Structure 1
Amino acid sequence: MSRFCLDCGTELKGRADKKFCDDQCRNNYNNKLKSEDGEFVRKINQILNRNRKVLKELADDTIQVKVDVLAKKGFDFDYHTHYYLSVSGMVYICCYDYCYIIDANDEVLFLQENQ
């Protein structure tokens, strides 16, 4: 039974468990795998960074703003890093060090976590 390199497809000779014809093919194959996963992570990080930038910009100016204002600035409410439970029992949605909560009037209240 013939075996073939996972990267370039040339026929392999030698050990029965050999998967690549040389180090370059092994590196090419693994780099392709990492770049596909990396692109997905890179896109999510871009969204999270944009969300943090919007929160920082607005939180520096005010402590309360309408949901529409965040949406117009490109904020994506589907992406956040974690939740924060305040001393008063309020659960804030956080994007890195900036947190927010949406009240019943569609107002966004900001909180910056202590570092």
Structure 2
Amino acid sequence: MKTCLECGVAFAGRADKKFCSDMCRNAYNNKLNSDSYNVIRNTNNQLRRNRRILEELCPLDKSKTTRAVLLSKGFDFSLLTSQRITQKGNIYYFVYDYGYLELDHDFFLIVKDSRSKPE
């Protein structure tokens, strides 16, 4: 007889079985991974929020805004999904399919990635 890693109840089963039920297996794994899941969940939520902000400020293919406007809406400049360097050396920072380029005097150019449009 083996004992369940979650509840300690004795059970019979396959040689590699560690839990008495799916409920115990899920509870054990949820506790084990809860800290890392919170970090991932919070990061993904902020990335989605950043994308929504860029989408709202860029209804067409391009638009301009300021750092103050982005920050006032809760934009987090530390989170992005990719970056692209142009032939001129400009760096576009992307949050999924929306990107931004820092211009002079705290202005930003926001662009929608033309490669992400459905054909």
Is TM more than 0.5 here?
yes
Q: In structure 2, do the counterparts of structure 1 residues 59 and 22 end up closer, same or farther at CA, with 3 Å as the change threshold?
A: closer
Q: In structure 2, do the counterparts of structure 1 residues 12 and 113 end up closer, same or farther at CA, with 3 Å as the change threshold?
A: same
The equivalent of 1:112 in structure 2 is: 112
The equivalent of 2:4 in structure 1 is: 5
| TM-score relative to the length of structure 2 | 0.72
The equivalent of 1:78 in structure 2 is: 78
The equivalent of 1:66 in structure 2 is: 66
CA distance in 2, matches of 1:50, 1:79: 10
1:1-115 aligned at under 5 Å gives the runs 5-10=4-9, 19-30=18-29, 32-33=30-31, 36=34, 37-60=36-59, 63-114=63-114, 115=116
> Tell me, which stretches of 5 or more residues in structure 1 are unaligned?
none
As a proportion of its length, which structure holds more strand? Answer: 2
Aligned identity (percent) is 38
Q: In structure 2, do the counterparts of structure 1 residues 53 and 15 end up closer, same or farther at CA, with 3 Å as the change threshold?
A: closer
CA distance in 2, matches of 1:21, 1:66: 57
Superimposed CA distance per residue, residues 1-35 of structure 1 (whole angstroms, 9 cap, x where no aligned partner): xx8532113467899976434554334312x1476
CA distance in 2, matches of 1:48, 1:25: 32
How far does residue 38 in structure 1 lie from its aligned partner after superposition? Answer: 3.1
Moved more, 4-13 or 105-114: 4-13
Alignment-mate amino acid for residue 71 of structure 1: L
CA distance in 2, matches of 1:25, 1:90: 52
CA distance in 2, matches of 1:73, 1:24: 41
SS in structure 2 opposite 1:105? helix
CA distance in 2, matches of 1:60, 1:109: 13
